[in-house]
Structure 1
Amino acid sequence: MAVLLAAALLSLAGCAAGDPAASSAAGASGVDASTSANAGGPSEAALSSDALAINLEAMDFDYSDCDKDASYDAAAATRVALAGDAASVEGAGASAEGSVITVTAAGTYVVSGELADGQIVVDAASEDKVQLVLDGARIHNADGPAIYVRKADKVFVTLAADSANALTDGADYVLDQDDEPNATLFSHDDLTINGTGSLEVTSAYRHAVCSKDDLVVTGGALSVSAAEDGLRGRDCVKIADGTFAITAGEDAVKSSNDEDGSRGFTCIDGGTFDITAGDDAVHAESVLRVTGGSVDVATCNEGLEAEQVQVSGGEVSIVANDDGVNAAARDTVTGGADNAPGVSEGSCLLQISGGRLEVASAGDALDSNGDLAITGGAVILHVPANPDDTVVDCDGSISLAGGTVTQVAADGTETQLTQELMGQMGAGGGMGGMGKGGPSGMGGEGDKALRGPGAAPEAPAKAPDFAAVDRDSLEGVG
């Protein structure tokens, strides 16, 4: 038994040694000398413009070798067998008491079977890395998370090849503190989902998957249904690959840290997404990057939203009931004063340098409360019928130095937009805030004059993949 445990620990120790996060903690965590004394995040009264200012250099956009490596030693792993209202453990590092399985040590744990009303709890040392391999596991917990990570350095939820897994909860939780836990798969520490199997996560209470630190996904087929947020990471959400079907009552994908300019970012670097959201499809408090993948948003309030939105690759199609893409300052305060903005609107940026973006929205298609810069890619914007909204609303400067921007009228007529035309649309735009309730930007007389059919472009950029959009589902969309 000791040999098996040693082998399992060796496997994870090797993973830890190869994890860039372990060797560059400052870059990965975004904590520097000025903030390390407040590792849990500064209090609201202590927030300053320096702390809130976006710090791209301190953001860790990379994936560690361990994030991407879904392999494990099945022979050396501890086995957890679920059986209705009970469970059994074969191996070291975990124990079962009734329908609750508790993991207390680093290692690999292979979980299979079905639990009618129970939970897996990870309560290990703060330096322990734990790998939970779901291999045909179905877990329901009527009053809390199906998987609850109380403490660890990092937990890897690996979806075994050819396996189908499911996690579900009830509508009422027994809470520990601070209204937590609040998700079907909940972690206080870094959480990575990898592998090639499938995972269905259903949340009747609040969120489906939530990490209070980093949430990373590098593989798997995830089907997510959430009363509130689908995939939520406080410090960041990074997605390298996988397939995702997400239905969320609020945000589908979200990073929520609004107290540190080096955190609160979301990266879509790959994967295939089908999203239905009650609020934002993809949200970040600081930076939202789309560098690859395919994102299809069937309906949402706003599609992509962050203080800075950067699209450099991938294919994104959005049907939105408000703005399609919105660069807006975080809802933060300085000095605790009510309604005092913590970040200036001038820090907002919507930047498109590649990929393909198509938007059909009831509000503004592209809305930046700061600057708008397009240097590449193909952008297709359907004209909103609402006279107070435009395809482009920008409160700062507008730059079109590359790529194509095509306006599509209600009758299908296309117009290639120039920087001058976009400037006329964006001039005099009002501020649209982050989240619900902010007033939409209002264009001047110049943009209203551009709402007619317009001349057909020399090289139309009609989007064949967007032909199936149900435009009747949007109020006020032309």
Structure 2
Amino acid sequence: MNKSAYVKTAAALLSLNVLFACSNDGKEPENSATAATSASAEEVLALINEQVSYTDEDYYSDWKKENATSIVLNGSAAEFPSDATVLLEDNILTIKAGGVYEISGTWDNGQIKIDAEDKNTVKLVLNGVEINNTTGSAIYVANAEKTVISLAEDTVNTISDGENYIFADENEDEPNAALFSKDNLTINGPGKLIVNGQYNNAITSKDELKITGGEYQITAADDGIMGRDLLAVKEGSFTIDAGGDGLKSSNDKDADKGSIALENGTFNIIADSDGVQSVSSLLIAGGTYTVTAGGGSPDTIAVKDTGMGRPFSSTNETEAVTEEDTTSTKGLKASAQIMIGGGDFTIDTLDDALHSNDSLSIYDGQFSIATGDDALHADAAIEVNGGNINITKSYEGIEANDITINDGDIQLVASDDGVNAAGGNDGSAMDFQASSGEHKLQINGGALYVDASGDGLDANGSIEMTGGTVFVNGPVNNGNGSLDYDGSFTISGGTIIAAGSSGMTQAASAQSEQAGIMMTYPEQQEAGTIIHLEDAEGNTILTFAPAKEYQSVFISTADLKKDTAYTLYSGGSSAEDNTNGLYAEGSYEGGTKLVEFTTSDTITWINESGVTEANSGGFGGGGARGGLGAPGEQTAETDTSGEQVVPGDGEGAPNPDGSGIRPGGGMPNDLFGDLDEETQQKVQEIMEQEQGGTITREEAQSQLAELGIDMPMRSGGRETQSETSEEI
């Protein structure tokens, strides 16, 4: 868990799903919390259809039957009917009225400009054109009620600008894209459009931008495709190489505008900044997305160590993020909500893969994610209702104030915490004080597999599990735990197996409805060593092989009952198939019987000697665990032989219950294993003074430094920049 003492938020969690602007009839958005609980994959598409209006003009039509005006470009000249509402001056061909204009040929160094003085739609049919303008936009919509650009069937159309623009007024800064529109713009048709935006953006609309078809090959010095008030894609194939963002909306002045809605299409995006960046909401109903942002994830994700075996901050080996570095390199990002109702996503990013400054809801989709930071991050809430999410690399897998998993198949690998319900923006940190947050992790269904080097399931508040299947291959260092929470962890259904180190061990809370056991071992077990549990009649409860070394394991399943006899085995083999380490019920042989015991409480703690007392002390609130105990706790223990174990015995041996917790302060075994006894005592005294408020954190840090211990103690936040509205 983030051991930071977070400040409790005074505001209730509003806008679990802040809906996508106002509807076309001007009605206010429906209540976001209600929408979040009732939405389904189909309803994400329905929500888009309610919020984005397409007319017949937005779709490709047979322009040959529409009395089109033909314009033929020929180098620096252009041919068109004498009665056409078209002006040609200084290599700028200006269309002055609505209508249909078919354009073909090559324009060596000129511009197609639309300055329509009527209220009719201007439709440009690109029927095999190559337009290059070295000093400005190739196509510039300066004034029009609406412009539709159609890509004619079986044509390739190319537009490009230069690296330097010449403006009539030196104070002007637009147009700033190879294809630039000040008003509503729609692009459609089955043809191909190649855009080289060498000055700034490739395609920009200062109003709404809609795309309903076409093939696009886009290169941009900055952003690939940008719609200020709205960017909506119905269909299309997009290859984008952007020095800034791939897809972007930019209206951060009007709360009802600035959203991105993607219904379908194929997107291959390489962006130096964000792949998709919405200044408001991001709604996705389908499509195929291959996104690389910021050069992709680093080969390894380095973490700083507190000296306690506990990583506390994320630092990429390839690029350390500092406060001065303001470049955002996320995959899919929105300052309001993200809702995903389906699609196929392959995302490789330096920063967060999916990031919302508000809420993130996933209802369906296939996700393959590698990231140098969080895979799924929301400042407010994350809700997973379905889909297949495979996180192969991350700093933290899933992070938000509140996290709810209702369904879906999630597999994640994290160099720090696996699932982290924590406060603040990117709120991962290390602190010796217990958090008083009210954050929650709720697991109601689905399958969750966690491989975490930090905490497995982590809540600066409480965890509740009513269903689903959870496997945790937790940390091997004693500064973290497979389970970590401040409030309570109640289980009323489902199956959970959490294996990992024993230094910060927590089990579920005693008030759980479903029974569970916590087994601690006298020494670390090798990865793959089978855990086999059966009842007194020899019926298998479960057979599980952790993927990593472990010294404790917590098990809770509906098959476990209170006041029932069980036997736990170690090692051996099974010929059955296994899923994420859990073997199908069947043959098991060759194991060593470790302990026979009878469950007497809802949560039963055991070691090789039998039933033992739960650990006490530590950071956690509602559940027993190891850790840095409060002053005066556990002044002595008695082992199974009746001998008293006293503080400072110098042996570093675990307690009789196998918890690895030293009495007299609750310092985990191996926490400062390389320090002599005198130094360990001084460290403990410094910690207790800082916890008790007699010295400041900075004073504690200074005193530890004098002992040669570099131990950052942060009150919150990773050593990465926090997102601000200006960065979105």
**TM-based fold match above 0.5:** yes
- 1:343 corresponds to which residue? none
Aligned ranges for residues 133-148 of structure 1 at < 5 Å?
133-148=125-140
CA contact (8 A) 2:131 2:158 kept: yes
Q: Secondary structure at the match of 2:147?
A: strand
In the TM superposition, what whole-angstrom CA distance separates every residue of 1:89-113 from its partner, at most 9, and x where no partner exists?
A: 1252223235221111110000000
Structure 2 CA distance for partners of 1:235 and 1:442, relative to 1, 3 Å: farther
Aligned ranges for residues 117-136 of structure 1 at < 5 Å?
117-125=109-117, 127-136=119-128
Q: Which residue among 72, 85, 88 is the counterpart of 2:79?
A: 88
CA contact (8 A) 1:30 1:262 kept: no
Aligned ranges for residues 402-441 of structure 1 at < 5 Å?
402-408=407-413, 425-428=419-422, 430-432=424-426, 441=428
**Inter-partner Cα distance in structure 1 for 2:402 and 2:118:** 47
In the TM superposition, what whole-angstrom CA distance separates every residue of 1:182-232 from its partner, at most 9, and x where no partner exists?
A: 100000000111000100000110000000001111111100000000000
Structure 2 CA distance for partners of 1:180 and 1:323, relative to 1, 3 Å: same
- 2:406 corresponds to which residue? 401
**Inter-partner Cα distance in structure 1 for 2:56 and 2:578:** 47
Structure 2 CA distance for partners of 1:360 and 1:443, relative to 1, 3 Å: farther
Q: Which residue among 364, 367, 379 is the counterpart of 2:374?
A: 364
- 1:315 corresponds to which residue? 344
Q: Which residue among 208, 222, 226 is the counterpart of 2:220?
A: 226
Structure 1, unmatched stretches of 5+, are: 1-25, 33-55, 329-347, 411-420, 433-439, 461-478
- 2:386 corresponds to which residue? 376
Residue identity in the other structure for 1:263: K
Q: TM-score, normalised by structure 1?
A: 0.72
Q: Secondary structure at the match of 1:73?
A: helix
Aligned ranges for residues 60-459 of structure 1 at < 5 Å?
60-73=51-64, 76-90=67-81, 92-125=84-117, 127-175=119-167, 178-300=172-294, 301-306=329-334, 307-328=336-357, 348-384=358-394, 389-394=395-400, 396-408=401-413, 425-428=419-422, 430-432=424-426, 441-442=428-429, 446-447=455-456, 450=474, 455=546, 459=579
CA contact (8 A) 2:382 2:403 kept: yes
Q: CA deviation at 1:64?
A: 2.3
Q: Secondary structure at the match of 1:66?
A: helix
Q: CA deviation at 1:63?
A: 2.5
- 2:594 corresponds to which residue? none
Q: Secondary structure at the match of 2:124?
A: strand
More helix by proportion, 1 or 2? 1
- 1:342 corresponds to which residue? none
**Inter-partner Cα distance in structure 1 for 2:279 and 2:110:** 34
Structure 2 CA distance for partners of 1:243 and 1:57, relative to 1, 3 Å: closer
- 1:14 corresponds to which residue? none
**Inter-partner Cα distance in structure 1 for 2:356 and 2:25:** 24
CA contact (8 A) 1:364 1:441 kept: no
In the TM superposition, what whole-angstrom CA distance separates every residue of 1:225-279 from its partner, at most 9, and x where no partner exists?
A: 0000000000010011111000000100001111122111001111111110011
Q: CA deviation at 1:355?
A: 1.3
Q: CA deviation at 1:402?
A: 1.2
**Inter-partner Cα distance in structure 1 for 2:164 and 2:141:** 19
Residue identity in the other structure for 2:412: Q
Structure 2 CA distance for partners of 1:78 and 1:313, relative to 1, 3 Å: same
In the TM superposition, what whole-angstrom CA distance separates every residue of 1:112-164 from its partner, at most 9, and x where no partner exists?
A: 00011000000003622010000011000111100000011110110000011
CA contact (8 A) 1:393 1:443 kept: no
Q: Secondary structure at the match of 1:215?
A: strand
Which stretch of structure 1 is more off in the superposition, 273-282 or 297-306?
297-306
CA contact (8 A) 2:274 2:293 kept: no
Q: CA deviation at 1:27?
A: 4.0
**Inter-partner Cα distance in structure 2 for 1:458 and 1:86:** 72
**Inter-partner Cα distance in structure 2 for 1:156 and 1:124:** 13
Q: Secondary structure at the match of 2:164?
A: coil
Please say which structure displays the higher CA radius of gyration. 2
Q: CA deviation at 1:428?
A: 3.2
Aligned ranges for residues 30-45 of structure 1 at < 5 Å?
none
CA contact (8 A) 1:108 1:131 kept: yes
CA contact (8 A) 1:85 1:98 kept: no
**Inter-partner Cα distance in structure 2 for 1:151 and 1:408:** 52
**Inter-partner Cα distance in structure 2 for 1:165 and 1:112:** 9
Residue identity in the other structure for 2:351: D
Q: TM-score, normalised by structure 2?
A: 0.48
**Inter-partner Cα distance in structure 2 for 1:141 and 1:30:** 40
Structure 2 CA distance for partners of 1:118 and 1:408, relative to 1, 3 Å: same
Q: Secondary structure at the match of 2:226?
A: strand
CA contact (8 A) 1:89 1:95 kept: no
Structure 2 CA distance for partners of 1:446 and 1:409, relative to 1, 3 Å: closer
Q: Secondary structure at the match of 2:58?
A: helix
- 1:45 corresponds to which residue? none
Q: Secondary structure at the match of 2:455?
A: helix
Structure 2 CA distance for partners of 1:443 and 1:282, relative to 1, 3 Å: farther
In the TM superposition, what whole-angstrom CA distance separates every residue of 1:432-478 from its partner, at most 9, and x where no partner exists?
A: 4xxxxxxx745895249836789479656xxxxxxxxxxxxxxxxxx
Q: Secondary structure at the match of 1:354?
A: coil
**Inter-partner Cα distance in structure 2 for 1:30 and 1:174:** 40
Residue identity in the other structure for 1:76: N
Aligned residues: 370
**Inter-partner Cα distance in structure 2 for 1:375 and 1:221:** 33
Structure 2 CA distance for partners of 1:99 and 1:361, relative to 1, 3 Å: same
